[in-house]
Amino acid sequence: MVKRYVGLVVLTLVLICVSLSASAEESGPNDAVVTAIQGSARVYTVGVAAGRALKKGDRVKKEQEIKVAEQSRIELRFSDGTVMRLSERSHVKMSELSFNKKTDDKNVKIDLSVGKLWANVKKLTTPKSSVEVKTSNAVAGVRGTVYRVNVEEDKSALVKVY
In 3D space, the residue among 98, 93, 97, 109 whose CA is nearest the CA of residue 142 turns out to be 109
Q: What is the pLDDT of residue 1?
A: 52
Q: Round to whole Å and give the CA distance between 143 and 119.
A: 12
pLDDT band per the 50, 70, 90 thresholds, residue 143: confident
Helices (H), ranges, 77-125 = none
Q: Quote the pLDDT of residue 21.
A: 38
Q: 12-48: per-residue pLDDT in tens?
A: 444 444 444 333 334 457 889 999 999 999 999 987 8
Give the number of residues written for the chain: 162
The reported pLDDT for the residue numbered 19 is 41
At 44 the pLDDT is 94
> How far is residue 103 from each of residues 18, 30, 93, 100, measured CA to CA in Å?
30, 14, 26, 6
pTM over 0.95: no
Give the integer Cα–Cα distance in Å for 118 and 87. 8
- State the Cα–Cα distance between residues 90 and 72, nearest whole angstrom: 9
CA angle 108, 113, 118 (to 5 degrees): 55
**Which bin fits 58, alpha (ψ -120 to 50), beta or left (φ > 0)?**
beta
Q: How confident is the model at residue 94 (pLDDT cuts 50, 70, 90)?
A: very high
